[in-house]
Amino acid sequence: MVDLSINSEKAGSQIIEFLKKTFKEAGFTKAVLGVSGGVDSALVLFLAARALGEKNVLPVMLSYAGLNSKGFKNAELAIRKAGIAQENAKIIDIKEAVEAVVKTDLRMDELRKGNIMVRLRMIHLYDLAKKHRALVLGTENRTEYLLGYFTRFGDEASDVEPIRHLYKTQVKQLAEYLGVPKEIVNQEPTAGMWPGQTDEGEFGFSYSDADKILLLYADQEKTKKEISALGFNNHTVDKVIARLTGNSFKHRLPYIFREKRL
């Protein structure tokens, strides 16, 4: 049995203290973050509100699908439940900006379009951070990080990453403990890059399986054979590890030439 349970009280307290210390040392009091309506951004929102105070957290809803989408409604719910004043929240419609870039290449596929969308969101977040003298909070979890499930210079761009050490399963545990609404915690994860897109649909495996396999392979350094012997499907193990190794280059960028001194 693979144990991914955490002490949520301790984990939450440690992250809150980390945020307090980091912002104090950096000389900042305000945080900007994109709120998608998903559990990762909702959790970071709740943690930031407790660490920095609700008035110092500036959530941004960067809409492409429209104001009536499920993601937008869940983002509003998360902001409200975190106790953040409505005047602190900002709504930015990025659809026109995305379409302007898409028009430059009529053969653009959905993945490229999604990457453009994510990078435009990053631009808005950093512009607002500059305006309000704030740091940008990232919302990446350990599962996404290890699998390389992020857009370079897009959703992985941040100043502070408070939950990158937590697997998706653990994110949900902590979110539930802190009072993130159940409809957000339990919804099917999606990056919102195109209609009907889901994380697990792209992966071809579940977060539940991925978290366990990654814990065994990346953290405990078990071999494929050892992992499969624990009862995991061989094909799933291969897919998870192939994605991890195939995207590992993302963690080494940029590649820098080191001049040899003569």
Structural domain contains residue 135 = yes
User: Domain count of the chain?
Assistant: 1
pLDDT of res. 238: 96
Judge whether 253 lies within some domain.
no
Q: Is residue 229 part of a domain?
A: no
Is residue 223 a known part of a binding site? no
Q: Which domain holds residue 85?
A: 8-194
Can you tell me the distance from the alpha carbon of 241 to that of 258, in angstroms, rounded to the nearest whole number?
Answer: 30
- 60 within a domain of the structure (yes/no): yes
Q: Is 39 annotated as a binding residue?
A: yes
Tell me if 34 is assigned to a ligand binding site: yes
- Residue 119, annotated as binding a ligand: yes
- Say which CATH number the domain at 23 has: 3.40.50.620
199 is in an annotated binding site: no
Average pLDDT for residues 140-164, to the nearest whole number?
Answer: 96
The 10s digit of each residue's pLDDT in 214-237 is: 999 999 999 999 999 999 999 999
Residue 168 marked as a ligand binder: yes
144 is in an annotated binding site: yes
Q: pLDDT value at position 63? A: 84
The yes-or-no verdict on residue 197 having pLDDT over 90 is: no
User: Binding residue per annotation — 211?
Assistant: no
- Cα 22 to Cα 15, 29, 176, 185: the distances in Å are 10, 10, 25, 27
38 is in an annotated binding site: yes
pLDDT score, position 260? 80
257 is a domain residue: no
pLDDT classification of 66: cutoffs 50, 70, 90: low
